[in-house]
Amino acid sequence: MTPISRRTVLKGIGTAIALPFLEAMAPKLGGGRALGATAAAAGPKRVAWIYVPNGITMQQWTPAEVGANYTTTRVLEPIKAFKDRTLVVSGLIADKANANGDGPGDHARAMAAYLTGSQPGKNVPTGLRVGILADQLVASKMKGTKFPSLELGTEEGKQVGSCDSNYPCAYNANLCWKSENQPMVKDCNPQSVFDRLFGAGNPGESEEARQKRLARRKSVLDFVLDDAKGLQNQVSSTDKRKMDEYMTTIREIETRLNRTEPETPIPAGAVRPEQKSREFPVHVKLMIDMMVLAFQADLTRVITFPFTNELSAMKYPWCGADVTHHGTSHHMNNPEKVELITKIQVFHMQQFAYLLQKLDAIKEGTSSVLDNSLIAYGSGVSDGDRHNHDNLPFILVGKGGGTVATGQHVKVNRVPINNMWLAMAERMGVKADKFGDATGVFKI
């Protein structure tokens, strides 16, 4: 078996397809013998933040018991199969999402403060003011990947104007910020993300190749077949099978994209049609598939993904909740409304389970991509009816390469959520003396 670089790509006209982790990429033992499948944790570590807006029905989220023998709650039930790799934490706070003298606007502050631990500016000369993001703290140290970070989503949002109680609309729509007044606008279009992942890096050439491919209904794989055949002659049967599975996944995603894309290619710079509410389940799964591909091929090690924006009025008829998300979160303890908002929250968790299943199915040595990752899932709002920002809903899934004590429910007393972000950054090899309102590194 010929050793190959972790950065090997299959190249074609306007296309560059990174490969998943192969045995031929594994470190070597003495005498040049590959570790291969015996490697305990062959892949790199990754982190992701999955954000849900408008809070959670906490009585349907929080386990009654502390420790390893907790009973899975209704909202957490979809990820029960991953209980041994899940850390449930109660008692985290996002104090900078509180008013602190700035008046109403909890939803805007919730998303803007979630990954920063900084008080979002309400009336500042630039119109925007937040702090450095946890994901960008990690991304700034990531070397060798195509993308230091990927900002993905499903729901576009306003980038100008005032929304929640005169806070800038950009706070509701952006989880990530490049600087205190420059949001990193998320990519919500699956085809756009796919093109970014597998384009060769020359925007003009990539777009030209994409238009030809769409016109002929060809796959990006058709452009790299010769390169792929040459590589398969250099690797083991196990690696050949892994490459076949990976390429089959890419082709299946392309097929699904073609079903959701307009028949006529949209010219560069043109506005794409908005995603319709009834298509949302398809949209979410496609975006999750992009996240999985990006991690699998080591195109990035840092991803953020809010399901929708704060104050989202998305309706969820496919799960028996044909009501607006934000409006129903103000349930005032009405049993019917509580049931409807809980159905929405269970739907989100089911999509999260889909992500975990995909990541766990991709093996790296004796571990999986999930085992080598830390996936945070939570919200900057606790109870959507109360708009509080203490006792936040939070879970951490994955093993971080075997560095995290999962499989338990831990309760803490008003610990800044930024302590958790510092802990996740440490597992990625990034240390910071101070971050937002953090008081220390959370013990995980």
Scanning the structure block, which residue is given the tokens 């908002």? 341
> pLDDT per residue over 228-249, tens digit each?
777 777 788 888 888 888 888 8
Provide φ and ψ at 134, rounded to 5°.
-60, -45
CA gap 367, 403 in Å, rounded: 13
How does pLDDT run across 364-376, given as a tens digit for each residue? 888 999 999 999 9
How are beta strands 394-397 and 46-51 bridged, if at all?
unpaired
As a whole number of angstroms, the distance between CA 304 and CA 339 comes to: 28
Helices 280-296 and 335-361: crossing angle in degrees, nearest 10, is 30
Do 57 and 341 meet the contact criterion of CB atoms below 8 Å apart? yes
**Contact criterion met (CB below 8 Å) for 175 and 308:** no
For the stretch 262-305, pLDDT in tens is: 433 333 333 444 444 448 999 999 999 999 999 999 999 999 99
**147: three-class secondary structure by DSSP:** coil
CB-based contact 438:416 (threshold 8 Å) = yes
CA geometry: angle 289, 291, 296, nearest 5 deg: 95
- Predicted pLDDT at 237: 83
pLDDT for 132 equals: 67
- Block means of pLDDT (10 residues each) for the chain, length 444 residues? 67 74 67 43 85 96 97 98 98 95 92 89 63 74 83 89 87 84 88 83 53 60 72 80 86 82 40 52 94 93 95 94 96 96 98 98 91 97 95 96 94 96 92 87 92
Taking the domain 45-188+280-444, which CATH number applies? Answer: 3.40.720.10
pLDDT computed for residue 41 by the predictor: 45
Q: What is the pLDDT of residue 158?
A: 84
* Sign of the dihedral through C-alpha 423, 428, 433, 435: negative
pLDDT of res. 329: 96
Distance (Å, whole) CA 442 – CA 444 = 6
Residue ranges matching CATH 3.40.720.10 in the chain = 45-188+280-444
